[in-house]
A and B are shown apart, each in its own frame.
Chain A
Amino acid sequence: MTESRTIHVGALARVEGEGALHLRVENGEVVDLRLEIYEPPRFFEALVRGRRASELPDLLARICGICPVAYQMSAVHAIEAAWGAPLHPQVRALRRLYYAGEWIESHLLHMTFLNAPDFLRLDDGIQIARLHRPEVERALRLRKLGNRILILLGGRSVNPVGVKIGGFHRIPTRAELTELGDELRRARGEAEALLHWFASLPVPSRPQDIELVALRHAAEYGICEGRIVSSKGVDVAAPEWDATFEETQVPHSTALHARLRRDGGRYLVGPLARVTLNADRLAPSAAAARGALAHRFAAPDPASSVFARGIEVLQAIDEAIAVIERFEPFTPLPDPAPRAGIGHGATEAPRGILYTAVETDAEGLVRNIRIVPPTSQNQAQIEADLRALAPAILTLPDDEARRRCEAAIRDYDPCISCATHFLTLTIERSNSCASG
C-alpha cells in the first residue's frame, strides 16, 4: 500500500514577495517538490530597451525596495565597462560606502523581523518586539544608520536617485561624512552585541554539500568588483558569466532557475558564500566575530546564514568607516561619453551576486539588458535543501512540518519580487548580451 502525504504552504510568510511551496512524499520518498514563485513578471528588461543608459540607475532602482543599490551598481559597472569609462578612486570608494548602507539595512531587517521569529518559535516581528524589545530597538537603531548612508548618497532611501554613470549626482561633504563616521564607530559595539544575542538563540543546523559562489577581490572583501569564484573551482570574470552559468525556466515558477554549465549543478550565492570564500578579506571586527562562530562555518550550512549576515553588518560598518577616514574632497571626472558596446557587471547584493549585462548603441541607448538576481540563482539550492529536509519532518504534524519548511526557505532571505522573470522562448546564449 502506498503511503503518501502532501504538504502545501499556499503563501510563504515573512519573505520578500509572494511564493508557495508544494511537497509530496510517497513511501518516504520525495516525489514532487516545487518552490512556486507565482508573482507576475514585471518585464523590466524589456521596458528599458530603447531608453537612455543614463536613465538605468533610476529605473532599475525601482525593481526592489530592499536592494535598489545592487541593481544600480551592477548596471553602472556594466555600462562603464561597455563605454571604457575610467572611474575616480573616490567614486569607487563611495560606492562601497553606499553598498554598505544597503547591506546594513537589508541584513538587519531580515535577521530581526523575518528570521529571528523562527529561532524563538514566534509568529512575527511584533511578538519579537514585545518579548525582546532591547534587541529589536538595537537592530532598528543600526538599520537607521544604513538608511542614513542611503539617503546621503542616494538622495532618499526608497528608490534612490543619487547614482549616475561614472559617479553620484552629489558628493557628500567632509563634514557630513565625519558626522556619519562618528555614528558608525559608536554602532560597532551595538552590532557586536546584536550578533552575540543571535548566537545565544537555538539556531538549527543543516550542513550539506553546497557549491558556494561569490565575488573575490585581490585585496578587498568582494562587493562591487572581483572575479566570480566558487568553493569547487569556478574562477571567472563577469564577462564569462554566460559561459559559466545558464538560466532555465521551470513550469512552476516565474523566476528562472540558474545552474552551472559545467555539470548542471546547483550553487549558492549570498552572505554565507561571501563569508566563507572571503574569510581572509574580513575587517578585524568581522573576522573576530567569524572566529568566535567558526563552528558554524566548518561546512556550508544555510541555517548559519543569519550569522553570516551579522558578520557582514560588522564588515559593512568597518568598510564604511574606512571609506570615510580616507575620503578627500575631489573634482569628479566628466560624464563618460557613450559608445556602442556590451558591458558586464557583477556586484554583491545583500542576497548574493547580481549579474547585469548591458548593450548600448553609439548614442547611449539601451539595445539589450539582462539581469540575473541572486534569488533566482539560489532557487535550485533551496529546493535541494528542502528535499534533504523532508525525511526529518515526515513524522511531524502538518503545522510543524510547514513551519520547518518555511524556516528553511527564510534562511536564504529570498527576494521573490526581484526574482520574477518569464521567458516564452528558449534562446541560445553565447558569451554576449542576449534578450531575457
Chain B
Amino acid sequence: MRVRVIGVGSGFGDDAAGLAVAELLARGELPSQITVSRCERPMPDLLDALDDVEAIVLIDAMRSGAPIGSVRRLLAAEITRSKATSSHGFGVASALLLSQTLGRPAERIEWVGIEAGPRRPGDPLSAAVLRALPEAAALALTLACEIADLDARS
C-alpha cells in the first residue's frame, strides 16, 4: 500500500512542528512505498496531497494540555473541525471530510500530534518541540511502515 507522510503546519513558532518532522524524514532514505510532503494550506493543498495515495500519516501540532513537546498517536475521533467560519478556518479535518465527500478518501489515516507551546509570529520552534522532532519522526515512520507492511527497522 502506498503511504504519504504529510507534515502540516505554518511558519509560526511551534505550529511549524509538522513541517519540521516532514523535513527530517525527507532527509533520510525511505522505502519506495512511502513519500513525504509538506502542507501549509489544508485547503486546497491537502486535497491535492490525497489524490494518489491509499493511506496517509498526518503530523501536526496539537493543543491537548500535555507538556510541550509531548508526542502521541491521535485517534480520528479526537480531531474536531474548526468552528471558525472564514476560509482561514478550513483546517485538516475539513479537508479530509471534503476528500471523503468527493469519494476519494484515503483507506487509512493515522495522526501524530506534537504538543505545541504558545504561538507568536516570528518565534522559532521551542526547545521542547525541537527535542521531540526525532521521536515524532520515528512514530510517523513506524506507522507508515506498519501500513505499508514493512519493517521500520530495515
Which residues of A approach B to under 8 Å, CB–CB? 11-19, 65, 109, 113-114, 125-126, 129-130, 133, 136-137, 140, 143-144, 147, 157-159, 416-417
B86 contact set on A, CB distance < 8 A: 11-19, 416
Known: A14-B87, A15-B86. A158 touches B102 (CB 8 A): no
A12 contact set on B, CB distance < 8 A: 85-86
Verify A16–B88 contact, CB threshold 8 A.
Answer: yes
Distance in angstroms from A74 CB to nearest chain B CB is 22
Measured CA separation A186–B52 after assembly (Å): 21
Verify A14–B85 contact, CB threshold 8 A.
Answer: yes
Can you give 27 A-B contacts (C-beta < 8 A)?
A11-B84, A11-B85, A11-B86, A12-B85, A13-B86, A14-B85, A14-B87, A15-B87, A16-B88, A19-B86, A65-B40, A65-B41, A109-B44, A109-B87, A129-B101, A129-B102, A133-B101, A136-B102, A137-B102, A140-B44, A140-B47, A140-B102, A143-B44, A144-B48, A147-B48, A158-B40, A158-B41
7 closest A-B pairs by beta carbon, nearest first, are: A13-B85, A129-B101, A158-B40, A130-B101, A16-B87, A11-B85, A129-B102
Measured CA separation A144–B90 after assembly (Å): 18
Measured CA separation A126–B101 after assembly (Å): 7
Distance in angstroms from B45 CB to nearest chain A CB is 7
Asked whether B79 is an interface residue with its Cβ less than 8 Å from the other chain, the reply is no
Measured CA separation A419–B34 after assembly (Å): 41
Verify A126–B85 contact, CB threshold 8 A.
Answer: no
B142 contact set on A, CB distance < 8 A: none
Distance in angstroms from B79 CB to nearest chain A CB is 15
Q: Which positions 1-57 of chain B face chain A at CB distance < 8 Å?
A: 40-41, 43-45, 47-48
Asked whether B138 is an interface residue with its Cβ less than 8 Å from the other chain, the reply is no
Verify A125–B41 contact, CB threshold 8 A.
Answer: no
Measured CA separation A133–B43 after assembly (Å): 17
Chain B interface helix/strand/loop/mixed: helix
Chain A interface helix/strand/loop/mixed: helix
Verify A133–B102 contact, CB threshold 8 A.
Answer: yes
Contact of A113 among B45, B87, B101, B103 (CB under 8 A): B87
Measured CA separation A133–B48 after assembly (Å): 16
Asked whether B94 is an interface residue with its Cβ less than 8 Å from the other chain, the reply is yes
A125 contact set on B, CB distance < 8 A: 90, 98
Question: What is the chain B residue whose CB lies nearest that of A157?
Answer: B45
Per-residue A-contact encoding for B84-114, CB less than 8 Å = 1, 0 else: 1111101000100110011100000000000
Distance in angstroms from A407 CB to nearest chain B CB is 14
Measured CA separation A130–B88 after assembly (Å): 21
Measured CA separation A241–B132 after assembly (Å): 51
Distance in angstroms from B110 CB to nearest chain A CB is 23
Can you name 7 extra interface pairs (CB under 8 A) apart from A13-B86, A126-B97, A158-B40?
A12-B86, A14-B86, A17-B86, A129-B98, A140-B47, A147-B48, A157-B45
